[in-house]
Amino acid sequence: MIRHLLSAGDLSRDDATLVLDTADEMARLTEGRAVKKLPTLRGRTVVNLFFEDSTRTRTSFELAAKRLSADVINFSAKGSSLSKGESLKDTALTLEAMGADGVVVRHSSSGAPYRLATSGWINACVVNAGDGTHEHPTQALLDAFTMRRHLGDLAGKRIVIVGDVLHSRVARSNVLLLATLGADVTLVAPPTLLPNGVERWPCATSYDLDDALTGADAAMMLRVQNERMNDAFFPSAREYSRRYGLDARRQALMPPEALVLHPGPMNRGMEITAEVADSARSVIVEQVTNGVYVRMAVLYLMLAGTNTTTEEAA
């Protein structure tokens, strides 16, 4: 397993499969147990270093580390020295002095986790929990884990990713990981919400959602990230929803066993209707549950060493 998890593209097929298989083991060892803790990371310290607001991801990482019996420290930009102008370097040196073993970092600037991991400021393992519009590798892993549990081997499966690809770190990570696992990925978005250079990504692109959904094994809807937009990328919310929103009519174009995913948070009525979000084919809530198992697997593989097995951890 690699020392740092900075990009989904850093994972080989064997690496990705190892993470997914280990997440399966974490689920098996903790599901249904009254006490869900494993002693695997006892004595290790994991720091959640979040320069951006987050509820879902930070809580998931915190719960994953605590279920592995690690000590967890939460740093956020608000209410800390970061809000007083402390640099990333000085923050890293502080964490190093405190003896952090793993640092989970989310930052508004693309490349910040890479800088932290390669600067020499800190010896801890670094996990990218989202950097700007660049990547979010553990989200891609939990999405793949969720799809694999329902669809089996993802090789040859048709996955459609729909929406604001331009501002989405989730889309880039999913394309890279799913391509590594052998899936056929199609991005669907208005031309204004596809990034420059997308033709070099290992996927197809389309502007026609109805056509892309026909025969798809899974559809992943992306949130329109208004907070990252400083221009008009489409005429109106109503027009966007009409062209690129997933409703019951479009869901019916997919095979009966096809899945509906969303990385959250959702804009109900915009990229997805409430009816579809709450349907039996939606695995959106399951994604949140699976995120804990996947992040347990990542932390375990990066911090526990090679001499401990998940069976011994139980």
Sketch the domain layout of the chain as residue ranges: 4-135+291-304, 137-288
Decide if pLDDT at 84 tops 80. Answer: no
The mean pLDDT value of the chain amounts to: 91
Decide if pLDDT at 83 tops 80. Answer: no
Residue 158 known to bind ligand: no
Residue 84 known to bind ligand: yes
19-42 core/surface letters (b: 16 or more CB in 10 A; e: else): bbebbbbbbebbeeeeeeebebbe
First vs last Cα of the chain: how many Å apart?
Answer: 21
Q: What is the Cα 12 distance to its own chain's centre?
A: 17
Give CA–CA dist 178/104, Å, rounded: 23
- Residues of the chain with pLDDT > 70, as a percent, come to 91
Q: Domain 4-135+291-304's class?
A: alpha beta
Q: Domain 137-288's class?
A: alpha beta
Decide if pLDDT at 170 tops 50. Answer: yes
Give CA–CA dist 105/131, Å, rounded: 8
Q: What per-residue confidence (pLDDT) applies to 307? A: 43
4-135+291-304 matches 137-288 in fold: yes
Decide if pLDDT at 52 tops 90. Answer: no
Residue 138 known to bind ligand: no
Q: What per-residue confidence (pLDDT) applies to 310? A: 54
Decide if pLDDT at 45 tops 80. Answer: yes
Residue 89 known to bind ligand: no
Residue 57 known to bind ligand: yes
Residue 44 known to bind ligand: no
Decide if pLDDT at 234 tops 90. Answer: no
Higher pLDDT pick, 85 / 297:
297
Residue with tokens 């880039």: 172
Least confident of 57-61, 180-184, 192-196, 231-235: 231-235
Q: What per-residue confidence (pLDDT) applies to 151? A: 98
Report the half-sphere exposure of 67 (CA within 13 A, side-chain side).
28
Residue 225 known to bind ligand: no
The residues, ordered by sequence, that sit 6+ positions from 287 with a Cβ below 8 Å of its Cβ are: 142, 143, 146, 261, 262, 263, 264
Q: What per-residue confidence (pLDDT) applies to 232? A: 66
